[in-house]
Structures are given as structure tokens and as C-alpha cells.
């Protein structure tokens, strides 16, 4: 349990990086059960704009923010997560780091070891795990045999420091690892650079030790956005639209197939994620997505990227 959370004073949150997503983290932190002490962003204009809106200071550098907080929420681009999170952990701050935890498995291992050594909570922002639609579906899912996921979005002009596997598909890889409980035994993957010099579209098939299969597609060069999952298991299946939060359960019953449709309701995923992290800091229990799990999914993403890279090289080699 964190000594600064003994019930007398609220945990103090510092938000690092207040761009597209970080400004939402800062807003949510300002309305949370903890207290937002301020923000830091290398873009000073942006930091001041967000800080002024929320009535907190914009700190001039990372160290001055870290000196004033107990926990850091890190929402900078993925390529900077390692340096920022390492500084925060070395300053004995608990960290919620946006997904992907870092960009390579070795750096993930360093952060996980550092958090353990310093007795700090390291959580990873796989916010889809807090999507009310997924939480609702999760109650039904037992031993999935086949999972099919499509996650496509228009090109955002951000997140280009990583390929689409580590940028978007990483959400679904984490969910699939959570459901399957083991690392895949086989994988096939194809990916194509479309609008950047990195892979922007990927299609992956994972097989697990008892024959379960997950087929995932992700693209960041689609005209429209879609996030859907279908999970098949003995006795029925569920389809989940993570965007509209609509669910359809199809179950085998003695009277035949039943179809039940619903729309999930619940708190904003980033809000639920932050409160889960704060609760982990206060109680010492693990967060829903720990650094260890963030590192595992990164290992899988890296294996997929390597597979795609070798296929691309093979394709571009004249026969
Ligand atoms: P962004 O480019 O809009 O914002 C990043 C901000 O960080 C910018 O304001 C930039 O000036 C600042 N910054 C860069 N380096 C910094 C440093 N070293 N220290 C302090 N500030 C720094 O990017 P974004 O879309 O907000 O993405 C940020 C992170 O959030 C990424 O890791 C991304 O993968 C993740 N993300 C997660 C989700 C989700 O669903 N969980 C959605 C979008 C983005």
C-alpha cells in the first residue's frame, strides 16, 4: 500500500503529455478520487492551454512535475514512454503508461523490473479492457474457441512512431491474451505500408495450444472507423461493437437458439481505468492491466511485426 494514500491526503496526479489523449486523462484526473497537481508537455503552448482550462499549473519540465506528484499518467507518443516512465519510476512514482507500454520488449522488461524493485505500481493504458461493452461480454465468455476482430480507423496523422500492430492491434492482442491465458503456439501474419513507411494494415492469425484461433485485422488507413469482435465458444457466440457498445448474444438452449441484443452502459473507459490504477496504488493489488501484461502483449506484437517484416522482404525480393 502506498504510504501517501493513508486516507488523510488524496493521491497527487501529474499528467505527462496532454495531446489528443492526454488532455482527456488530465480532465478525468481533475474529476477523480485523487487530485490533479499539474501537467507537463514539451509543447508549452499546449500544456498552458490544458492547465488553464483545468485551473492547475503547467510545469516547465518533467522533474519539477515529478517532485510534486505521487503518481504519473504518461500519455506521450510511444517512442518516449520508456524515458519518461523510467524517470518517473526512478523518482518513486507509480505510473499509468498509455499503450503500447514501450516500443520494444527489452525496454518493457527494464520498466517491469524497475517497478518491482521500487515497489511501484506500473499499469498500462489498455483502455478497451474498461469498455463497458467488453466488460459485459466478458461475463459470458468462457473458453473461446474462435475470436475474430476488426479494428479499422481513418488515418489520424498521429501514432506514426509505431506500426499499426503496436498502435491499434495491440488493444485486441491484449484482450485475446487475457481470454486465452497463454501465448500462441503458431502465428501467420501479413501487413502492408499504405500511408506511412511502417505497416498500416495488418491481418494476423494466432493459434493456441488447445487449437483455439484468433483472427485479427487492423488498419489505420480506412475511410471509416469500426471496432468489432465476435467470440465463438461451445453453446453460443457474442458479437461486440466496441464503438456503439451494442452486443448480440446467440445461445443454444433446449428450446433452440436464442438471440439477445443489448447496449452496454457504464463509465467512460479512461475514468474506470484511472480509478482501477488509483485503487491498485492504494491497496497494493495489481491493476487490471499490469506492466507484466503490457510487456507480454508487446512481445507478441514484436513477434508479429518481425513475421510481417520477413514476409515483406520476401515479397520485395525479385525471383
Ligand atoms: P499526441 O501526439 O496527440 O500527444 C502527445 C503529446 O505528448 C503531445 O502534446 C507532445 O507535445 C507531448 N510530448 C511528446 N514527447 C513528450 C515528452 N518527452 N514529455 C512530455 N510531453 C511530450 O498523441 P496521442 O494520440 O495523444 O497519443 C499519446 C499516447 O496515447 C500514445 O501512446 C498512444 O498510443 C496512446 N493512445 C491511446 C489510446 C487508447 O485508446 N488508449 C488512444 C489514442 C492514443
In this structure, what CATH number is given to the domain that contains residue 89?
A: 3.40.50.720
Which residue range forms the structural domain that includes residue 59? Answer: 12-125+270-287
Q: Is 3 a domain residue? A: no
Substitution candidate for ligand 1 out of 15, 16, 17, 227 with most atoms within 8 A of CB: 17
How many angstroms does the Cα of residue 117 sit away from the middle of ligand 1? 27
Q: Is 58 a domain residue? A: yes
Would you state the pLDDT for residue 3?
Answer: 46
pLDDT digits (tens, 9 = 90+) for 180-238: 999 999 999 999 999 999 999 999 999 999 999 999 999 999 999 999 999 999 999 99
pLDDT band for position 163 (cuts 50, 70, 90): very high
Do 109 and 121 share a structural domain?
A: yes
Do 215 and 193 share a structural domain?
A: yes
What is the total count of domains within the chain?
A: 2
CA–CA dist 169, 161 (Å, integer) = 15
Residue nearest (by alpha carbon) to ligand 1 atom 41: 127
Average pLDDT, the chain: 95
How many angstroms does the Cα of residue 310 sit away from the middle of ligand 1? 29
pLDDT band for position 318 (cuts 50, 70, 90): low
**Burial environment of residue 8 by CB neighbours within 10 A (0 to 12, 13 to 18, 19 or more):** exposed
Substitution candidate for ligand 1 out of 22, 62, 175 with most atoms within 8 A of CB: 22
Q: Please, what sign has the CA dihedral across residues 35, 40, 43, 45?
A: positive
How many angstroms does the Cα of residue 235 sit away from the middle of ligand 1? 42
How many angstroms does the Cα of residue 225 sit away from the middle of ligand 1? 20
Would you state the pLDDT for residue 175?
Answer: 97
Q: Is 295 a domain residue? A: no
Atom of ligand 1 nearest to the CA of 162: 34
Q: Please tell me whether the peptide bond between 256 and the residue prior to it is cis, using omega within 30 degrees of 0.
A: no
CATH code for the domain of 257: 3.30.360.10
Neighbours of 236 (CB within 10 A): 17
Would you state the pLDDT for residue 158?
Answer: 78
How many angstroms does the Cα of residue 211 sit away from the middle of ligand 1? 37
Query: Which protein residues are within 6 Å of ligand 1, measured from CB?
Result: 16-22, 40-43, 46, 75-78, 80, 84, 98-99, 125, 127, 158-159, 167
Query: pTM score, two decimals?
Result: 0.95
Amino acid at each position: 500500500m502506498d504510504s501517501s494514500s493513508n486516507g488523510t491526503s488524496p493521491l497527487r496526479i501529474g499528467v505527462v503529455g496532454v495531446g489528443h489523449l492526454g488532455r482527456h486523462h488530465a480532465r478525468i484526473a481533475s474529476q477523480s478520487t485523487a487530485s490533479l497537481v499539474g501537467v507537463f508537455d514539451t509543447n508549452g503552448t499546449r500544456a498552458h492551454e490544458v492547465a488553464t482550462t483545468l485551473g492547475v499549473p503547467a510545469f516547465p519540465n518533467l522533474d519539477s512535475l515529478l517532485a510534486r506528484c505521487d503518481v504519473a499518467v504518461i500519455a506521450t507518443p510511444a517512442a518516449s514512454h520508456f524515458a519518461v516512465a523510467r524517470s518517473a519510476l526512478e523518482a518513486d512514482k507509480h505510473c499509468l503508461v498509455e499503450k503500447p507500454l514501450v516500443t520494444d520488449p527489452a525496454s518493457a522488461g527494464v520498466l517491469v523490473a524497475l517497478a518491482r524493485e521500487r515497489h511501484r505500481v506500473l499499469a498500462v493504458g489498455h483502455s478497451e479492457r474498461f469498455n463497458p461493452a467488453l466488460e459485459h461480454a466478458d461475463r459470458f465468455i468462457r473458453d473461446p474457441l474462435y475470436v475474430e476482430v476488426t479494428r479499422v480507423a481513418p488515418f489520424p496523422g498521429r501514432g506514426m512512431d509505431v506500426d499499426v500492430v503496436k498502435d491499434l492491434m495491440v488493444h485486441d492482442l491484449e484482450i485475446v491474451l487475457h481470454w486465452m491465458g497463454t501465448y500462441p503456439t503458431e502465428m501467420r501474419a501479413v501487413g502492408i505500408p499504405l500511408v506511412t513507411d511502417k505497416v498500416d494494415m495488418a491481418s494476423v492469425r494466432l493459434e493456441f495450444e488447445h487449437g483455439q484461433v484468433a483472427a485479427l485485422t487492423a488498419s489505420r488507413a480506412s475511410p471509416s472507423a469500426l471496432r468489432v469482435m465476435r467470440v465463438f465458444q461451445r453453446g453460443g457466440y457474442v458479437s461486440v461493437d466496441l464503438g456503439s457498445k451494442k452486443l448480440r448474444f446467440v445461445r443454444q438452449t433446449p428450446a433452440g437458439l436464442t438471440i439477445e441484443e443489448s447496449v452496454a452502459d457504464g463509465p467512460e473507459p479512461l475514468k474506470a481505468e484511472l480509478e482501477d490504477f488509483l485503487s491498485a496504488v492504494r491497496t497494493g493489488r495489481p491493476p487490471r492491466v499490469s506492466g507484466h501484461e503490457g510487456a507480454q502483449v508487446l512481445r507478441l506484437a514484436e513477434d508479429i511485426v518481425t513475421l510481417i517484416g520477413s514476409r515483406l522482404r520476401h515479397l520485395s525480393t525479385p525471383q
